[in-house]
Amino acid sequence: MKSLRLRSFAKVNLGLEVLGVREDGYHELRTLFQTIDLADEIVLVPSGRGVRVVCDHPLVPRDESNLAARAAQLLRSYGRIGQGVEIRIHKRIPVGGGLGGGSSNAAAVLLGLDRLWKLGLGPDGLHRLAVKLGADVPYFLLGGTALGLARGDEVYPLRRQIRGYTVLVDPGIHVSTARVFARLDGRLTTRENSNSIYYFVSRELEGPGGYRFLQNDLEEAALEEAPELRVQTGRIRDVLLREGACLASLSGSGSSYFGLFEDARPAKRARAALDAEGFRAHGARTLTLEQYRGAWGRSRNRLRQ
Window contacting ligand ATP (CB under 6 A); options: 59-67, 222-230, 273-281, 286-294: 59-67
CB of 138 to ligand ATP, least distance (A): 13
What are the angstrom distances between the C-alpha of 54 and each of 84, 85, 87? 14, 11, 6
Q: Does 137 bind ligand ATP (CB under 6 A)?
A: no
Q: Is 77 exposed, middle or buried (0-12, 13-18, 19+ CB in 10 A)?
A: exposed
Query: Site map for ligand ATP, 76-105, x if CB under 6 A?
Result: -------------x-----xxxxxxxxx-x
Buried b / exposed e along 156-172 (16+ C-beta atoms within 10 A)? ebbeebbebbbbbbbbe
Q: Does 148 bind ligand ATP (CB under 6 A)?
A: no
Among 6, 68, 108, 162, binds ligand ATP (CB under 6 A): 68
Q: Are 48 and 24 in contact (CB under 8 A)?
A: no
> Position 22: which residue type?
R
Window contacting ligand ATP (CB under 6 A); options: 27-35, 57-65, 200-208, 228-236: 57-65
Nearer CB in complex with ligand ATP: 195/215? 215
Q: Does 166 bind ligand ATP (CB under 6 A)?
A: no
Catalytic residue among 40, 136, 153, 217: 136
Q: What is the DSSP string of 119-168?
A: ---HHHHHHHHHHHH-TTHHHHTT-SEEEEEETTTEEEE-SS----EEEE
> What whole-number distance in Å separates Cα of residue 7 and Cα of residue 35?
12
* Dihedral sign of CA atoms 186, 187, 190, 193 in order: negative
Window contacting ligand ATP (CB under 6 A); options: 16-24, 27-35, 56-64, 115-123: 56-64
Nearer CB in complex with ligand ATP: 95/241? 95
* 76, containing H or E segment: helix 67-78
Four-point Cα dihedral 214, 218, 219, 225, nearest 10: 180
Nearer CB in complex with ligand ATP: 11/127? 11
Nearer CB in complex with ligand ATP: 58/278? 58
Q: Does 131 bind ligand ATP (CB under 6 A)?
A: no
185 tagged catalytic = no
Label the pairing between strands 51-54 and 85-90.
parallel
Nearer CB in complex with ligand ATP: 144/252? 252
Q: Does 177 bind ligand ATP (CB under 6 A)?
A: yes
Q: Are 270 and 240 in contact (CB under 8 A)?
A: yes
Window contacting ligand ATP (CB under 6 A); options: 58-66, 194-202, 215-223, 267-275: 58-66
63 tagged catalytic = no
> What whole-number distance in Å separates Cα of residue 142 and Cα of residue 291?
11
* Residues in contact with ligand ATP by the rule CB under 6 A: 59-61, 66-68, 89, 95-103, 105, 177, 252-253
